[in-house]
Structure 1
Amino acid sequence: MNATIQKFGYPETLLREYENWVVLLRPEQVTLGSMVLANKSEAGAMSQISASAFAELAQATRDLEGALRSAFQHDKINYILLMMVDNHVHFHVIPRYASYRDFAGSSFEDAAWPKPPDLSVSVSVSEDQRQALQELLKSKWGA
């Protein structure tokens, strides 16, 4: 796996692995259920990923959106492709919520709604909640 995937905690944060992509639970939760969708290649630009990776991207996004919808009924999803610090092709996947979501004994707010998400701010999630979140999302894959 490339350095970007490793930086985001692979394999501990893995939600699903595809031939060309991995979906990881984002270590810093911008909003509840934030993920990283990362291409497994060394590509440093979208134009450099393979045709098969582009085709598989459709399945990976359908799957992750379905898992988030089933788990939390998100209102929107923001896909952010920055690659300013981490050079390999990856998206920050930020589910967006117009209202609070309750999970694992806490209430979570999307403080930036309806403005763009602020990736420098994260919601407070305990280690137990992070593990429960990862287990829930894995269980909803394909739902």
Structure 2
Amino acid sequence: MGTENKRWSMQQHENFTKKLRKNMVADYKHWAVILNIQQYYVGRTLVWAKRYEAHSEFDLTDEEIEEVLRIKRDVKAALDATLKPDMINTAFLGNEVDHCHCHIIPRYHQVRKVLAGGDVFQDQFFGKHWYQDSAKYFKTRQRPFEGVKAILTTAIANVRKQRKRPLTTPKFTSAAIEVVRNDAQALVQVRVRDFVEKTKTWHMVSVIMESVETNSG
């Protein structure tokens, strides 16, 4: 059956989105990151497009594409810092749900335990295709599910916070290179000092000045 014969109404989309958001672990401008209820592959998430007209990945705008790539990297970083999967599968499918979404499926060579005394998760299909009936119909108990949800919510928030921190070093380096090219010791000292005063960045001053003296000598 083609997708044109099973297109969702706006109301169906809104109802399903509302249901998914109960298990949301991160919220972005164009996408929501949802912890999948099928946690056979522990940490499995769904990146759900917010815009109703985004029925498949071919309907995405450039901005939506750019953001979903960033989200996939954020989720990978969060998984690497917590559950430490051995590899990660990703897929845009749309076979059963008429809306654009990306599956992020962590894969594990060894078992993983979630929470102290919690459930043990074992990827029996490691090295094979992730879509298996026993994985599809796997039921996760509420306590370990909430544990995984809390872990990923915190981890993704931390990754995003780290990514948003301003990077001052590249600006400092560029300014220093420009100054060195002038090849004048007095001018170098003045410009580096002025830059440091403006940016309050002191940790590279001695290194830059040593480099300047070497190039000027």
Instruction: Indicate the residue corresponding to 1:100 in structure 2.
Output: 111
Instruction: Indicate the residue corresponding to 2:141 in structure 1.
Output: 126
Residues 78-131 of structure 1 show CA distances to partners (whole Å, capped at 9, x for unaligned) of 112110110111112110001111112222101111101125333442101111
Pick one of 117, 125, 129 that aligns with 1:116: 129
Matched length: 143
TM-score, length-scaled by structure 2 = 0.60
The answer as to 2:39 corresponding to 1:36 is no
| Structure 1 CA distance for aligned equivalents of residues 149 and 102 of structure 2 | 18
Residues 51-81 of structure 1 show CA distances to partners (whole Å, capped at 9, x for unaligned) of 1101111221111111111111111111121
Instruction: Indicate the residue corresponding to 1:12 in structure 2.
Output: 22
Q: 3-state DSSP class of the match of 1:36?
A: strand
Q: Flag the 1:90–1:101 CA change in 2: closer, same or farther, 3 A.
A: same
Query: What percentage of residue pairs aligned between the two structures are identical?
Result: 22
Q: Flag the 1:119–1:90 CA change in 2: closer, same or farther, 3 A.
A: farther
Q: Which has the higher helix share?
A: 2
Q: Flag the 1:139–1:93 CA change in 2: closer, same or farther, 3 A.
A: same
Q: 3-state DSSP class of the match of 1:77?
A: strand
The answer as to 2:143 corresponding to 1:138 is no
- 2:57–2:92 Cα contact (<8 Å) kept: no
- Once the two structures are TM-superposed, the CA of residue 133 in structure 1 deviates from its matched residue by 0.9
Equivalent AA in structure 2 for residue 25 of structure 1: L
Tell me which moved more, 1-10 or 18-27.
1-10
Equivalent AA in structure 1 for residue 126 of structure 2: W
Q: Flag the 1:45–1:106 CA change in 2: closer, same or farther, 3 A.
A: closer
Instruction: Indicate the residue corresponding to 1:63 in structure 2.
Output: 74
Pick 1 or 2: higher relative contact order, CA cutoff 8 A, min separation 6: 1
| Structure 2 CA distance for aligned equivalents of residues 135 and 6 of structure 1 | 22
**Root-mean-square deviation (Å):** 2.1
Q: Which has the higher strand share?
A: 1
Q: 3-state DSSP class of the match of 1:27?
A: coil
Q: Flag the 1:117–1:36 CA change in 2: closer, same or farther, 3 A.
A: same
Q: 3-state DSSP class of the match of 1:91?
A: strand
Equivalent AA in structure 1 for residue 61 of structure 2: S
| Structure 2 CA distance for aligned equivalents of residues 30 and 71 of structure 1 | 17
Q: Which runs of 5+ in 2 are unaligned?
A: 1-9, 160-217
TM-score, length-scaled by structure 1 = 0.89
| Structure 2 CA distance for aligned equivalents of residues 17 and 87 of structure 1 | 21
Bigger Rg over Cα: 2
| Structure 1 CA distance for aligned equivalents of residues 36 and 139 of structure 2 | 13
Equivalent AA in structure 1 for residue 59 of structure 2: Q
The answer as to 2:32 corresponding to 1:22 is yes
- Once the two structures are TM-superposed, the CA of residue 10 in structure 1 deviates from its matched residue by 2.4
